[in-house]
Amino acid sequence: MRLKLIEKYYKLLNMLRSNPGKCIESEDVGLISIIKRYESYIVKELYSGRERLCVKTLLPMALDLLKLGADPQEVSKYLDWKDFEELVSIILSGYGMDVIRNYRFNLKRYEIDVIGIDLTTKYALVIDCKHWRPGYRKKGKLVEAVKVHKLRVKYLSEFCSSIVSQYPSLSKVKYFIPVIVTLTDALKGVIDNVFIVPIRFLRDFINNIEYYVELLGSKSLVMNKCFIKTS
């Protein structure tokens, strides 16, 4: 039953993605029943004299697919880069982290996609999301992304006072951990002390963050200069 429902979701997502307006005119009762579950995201319109249903975003369906046990990488293929960042944020929130989205600092010169603040480990995952197509293998581009992201994290620590004033919980984490989350799993591991984590393995990375940090050692950590030690 669950697998059949997953198949229906994928069929629906394929139909919506193939339509520029994310619309459906299907007479398939099963597909229509699924899409109508997301009434708050639906826009009804007339097309050639027939009513069709259009959705504002595919993210709510993608999240329900994940709850059914679908593969995060496969699901993420149906999302645009904004939805991909939102999905990463939701996964972090699911682990009880405080989440900051699209933070710009240093006269808006730098922007960080997602920050996940873990008050248990005292780590903040500073994440750059790369919604590159599945199978993308150009390591040179990723190396350049790593270089830029390391600079962002360095300056985040340097200019942390401005962000801490807005998000006080950031002062409770001792270290920043630079992470790049990718759609594809063709490139993964560590590049220049930055973790490269495919979305498929993000939950494993979060569950075992202390293990991965121990493997790489202090090289993976950037001291938070605004850390305030509490008893």
- pLDDT, tens digit, 9 for 90 and up, residues 24-40: 877 777 888 888 888 88
- Going by C-alpha positions, the residue among 97, 67, 54 that lies closest to residue 205 is 97
Q: What is the end-to-end Cα distance of the chain in Å, rounded?
A: 51
Q: What are the structure tokens assigned to 174, written together?
A: 């001792």
209 is a domain residue: yes
Domain span including residue 153 = 72-223
Among the candidates 64, 93, 110, a domain finishes at: 64
Work out the pLDDT band at 162, boundaries 50, 70, 90.
confident
Q: Is the same domain home to 126 and 41?
A: no
114 with 17, same domain: the answer is: no
> Which of 23, 46, 64 lies at the terminal end of a domain, its last residue?
64
The answer to whether the CB of 115 falls within 8 A of the CB of 139 is no
Do residues 131 and 193 both lie within one domain?
yes
Give the tens place of pLDDT for each residue, 143-159.
899 999 999 999 999 98
- In this structure, the answer to whether residues 23 and 100 fall within a common structural domain is no
Distances (CA, A) of 100 to 51, 95, 116: 39, 14, 7
Domain count, the chain: 2
Do 7 and 95 lie in one domain? The reply is: no
Of 64, 89, 104, which residue is a domain's last?
A: 64
Residue 182 lies in a domain: yes
**187 and 125 fall within a common domain:** yes
Q: What is the pTM of this model?
A: 0.84
What would you report as the CA-atom Rg of the chain, rounded to the nearest whole angstrom?
20
Tell me, yes or no, whether 77 and 138 share the same domain.
Answer: yes
pLDDT at 188 over 90: no
101 and 19 part of one domain: no
Examine residue 228 and state whether it is found in any structural domain, yes or no.
no
Cβ pair 107, 133 in contact under 8 A: no
Rounded mean pLDDT of the chain?
Answer: 88
CATH of the domain at 132: 3.40.1350.70
Do 144 and 167 lie in a common domain?
yes
* 109 & 212 share domain: yes
Q: What is the mean pLDDT of residues 68-89?
A: 90
Burial 188-201 (b: 16+ CB within 10 A, else e): beebebbbbbbbbb
